[in-house]
């Protein structure tokens, strides 16, 4: 029996989160941006899975921007490092969501 071809792809998502009790963000942060790589059969599924996992982690997702698959990003001329490609491959292999970077937001006074 041959292994069935996976329809899963990895999507690059930028998720903005607000504050929530127990979210682990710095005390003076007003929220954060998270760069995520999420597997899914389409971008909508990848977004749903990412939002669900972030909520389980006590984060408060506010907005999600999709940047497409690796092939779509390369076609648009994005410069993608080997490290980034490695994280995408891991997300696909593990059928998971990888948070690659978290950047807290702070109000300037």
| High-pLDDT (> 70) share of the chain, % | 94
pLDDT classification of 59: cutoffs 50, 70, 90: very high
Q: How far is CA 32 from the centre of its chain?
A: 13
Mean pLDDT of 10-21: 96
Among all chains, which residue has been given the structure tokens 């690796």? 70
Its pTM stands at: 0.89
Return the pLDDT at 2: 47
How far apart CA 88 and CA 45 sit, in angstroms, is 16
| High-pLDDT (> 90) share of the chain, % | 89
Extract the tokens encoding 93: 């292999």
* Contact between residue 65 and residue 50 where contact means Cβ atoms under 8 Å apart: no
Return the pLDDT at 108: 76
How far apart CA 3 and CA 14 sit, in angstroms, is 32
In 29-91, DSSP assigns E strands to 31-40, 60-69
> Where exactly are the structural domains of the chain?
9-105
Is pLDDT above 90 for 67? yes
Among all chains, which residue has been given the structure tokens 């997300």? 91
Mean pLDDT of 25-50: 96
């Amino acid at each position: 029996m041959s292994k069935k071809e996976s329809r899963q792809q990895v999507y690059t998502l930028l998720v903005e989160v607000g504050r929530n009790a127990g979210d682990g963000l710095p005390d003076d942060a007003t929220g954060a941006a998270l760069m995520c790589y999420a597997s899914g059969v389409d971008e909508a599924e990848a977004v749903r899975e990412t939002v669900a996992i972030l909520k389980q982690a006590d984060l408060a997702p506010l907005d999600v921007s999709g940047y497409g698959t690796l092939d779509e990003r390369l076609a648009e001329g994005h410069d993608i490092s080997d490290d980034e490609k490695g994280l995408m491959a891991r997300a696909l292999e593990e059928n998971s969501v990888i948070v690659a970077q978290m950047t807290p937001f702070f109000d300037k006074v």
